[in-house]
Amino acid sequence: MVTYQESAFRALADPTRRAILDRLCRGPQPVNVIARAFPVSRPAVSKHLRLLREARLVRERRDGRRRIYHLNPAPLRRVDDWMERHRRLWTRKLMNLKRYVEAEEAATRKKRAAKRRRN
């Protein structure tokens, strides 16, 4: 069984779907307006929207015959929360690596300076 978080990551893996989400950040849009913004067929855009809807990243509202799509930010917050944990971990690890490399460089400079003084 695929979790909502997994389906959100799967949906976000595609650049076209990310671009659709970027467009929807500006506000709700009908499918035809969204489709015109991309160099792929309307059925291809509809498939992307279906995957985004299944991942609960977008919501669809019917207005007569039109389908209006809205961004649903809640799953994106969960993705961001997950990423933040990893961001903190890697930030800490990279800071430790930076301190180690700087300490090694300082020790090397100190050894070179001592060697020059002896010569």
Give the pLDDT confidence of 54-108 residue by residue, as tens digits.
999 999 999 899 999 999 988 888 888 888 888 888 999 999 999 999 999 999 9
pLDDT attached to residue 115: 82
Which CATH number characterizes residue 52's domain?
A: 1.10.10.10
d(CA 113, CA 106): 10
- The reported pTM is 0.70
Tokens 């990551």 -> residue: 9
Q: 104 in a domain, yes or no?
A: no
- Total count of domains within the chain: 1
Q: Mean pLDDT of all residues in the chain?
A: 90
pLDDT attached to residue 79: 82
Q: Is the pLDDT of residue 45 over 80?
A: yes
Contacts 24+ apart (CB under 8 A), 114-118: none
**Both tokens of residue 19?**
């671009």
d(CA 90, CA 85): 9
pLDDT interval class at 6 (50, 70, 90): confident
